[in-house]
Amino acid sequence: MRKILIIGGTSAIAEHCARIWAARGDELYLVARNEERVQTIAADLKIRGAAQVTTYCTNLNDMDRHGELLDAADIAMSGIDIVLIAHGTLSNQKSCEQSVEETLAEIQTNALSTISLLTLIANRFEAKKEGTICVISSVAGDRGRASNYVYGSSKAMVTAFTSGLRQRLHKSNVAVVTIKPGFVDTPMTTEFKKGLLWVKPNAVAMKIIHAIDKQKNEVYVPTFWCAVMMLIRAIPAGLFKRLKL
């Protein structure tokens, strides 16, 4: 039985991960801001076999509470083996372009709050010389595009931060797993028309669990995004700025 902290516990992708862990009999600690929703998820996970499910409610932009939430999870489960960071918002690019405040708020949610958590978790795991940290970044972080560069640059920061953290923590037996999903059909993307490139959150969750089990480094989900993003990154900047991608 493993002790797993899920930050952003009401995310559709995180919920599907939690279902797999619950079926394995793991112990779960869910952090989310929507109390009613997280209670419903917790009750469901208990039925699915989780050894224990505890919840903690906070807005993750309240970074002063990050230390407290980690302490609470540590005490409730008598230790933490795995942390999954899954919260995020899909920024409204057009309105961000007109508002410094909104742009910075999006970067706060999608990058800075995650980096605050990663810094605290990394030091704890480094001290005990074990643990796995998994963060959901995005293919959007691989190259800034006109249509979503506020969200994309936030995810780029998370990807680069976890790359450095992985190198730092390798010698301390701590794994850092970066997940880069493409298009996933979740509440975050309800507005979008779905097509061939879209996948369901349960499929992404299976890949995340596999990546954590195998202590992978960076994982594109589905795998074909690795090739797609390699091509997109290879386009010279002079040509890229003229394209509508």
Binding residues for ligand NAP, rule: CB under 6 A, are 8, 10-13, 32-34, 59-61, 86-89, 109, 136, 138, 181, 183-184, 186-189
Decide if 51 contacts 21 (C-beta within 8 A): no
Burial of 171 (0-12, 13-18, 19+ CB in 10 A): exposed
Pair type for strands 82-85 and 3-7? parallel
Q: Is the dihedral of CA 19, 106, 37, 84 positive or negative?
A: positive
Q: How far is the CB of 12 from ligand NAP (least distance, A)?
A: 4
Q: How far is the CB of 86 from ligand NAP (least distance, A)?
A: 5
Nearer of residues 34 and 223 to ligand NAP, judged by Cβ: 34
Nearer of residues 173 and 223 to ligand NAP, judged by Cβ: 223
Nearer of residues 132 and 178 to ligand NAP, judged by Cβ: 178
d(CA 17, CA 11): 10
Q: How far is the CB of 204 from ligand NAP (least distance, A)?
A: 8
Q: How far is the CB of 195 from ligand NAP (least distance, A)?
A: 12
Amino acid sitting at position 201 = P
Nearer of residues 60 and 150 to ligand NAP, judged by Cβ: 60
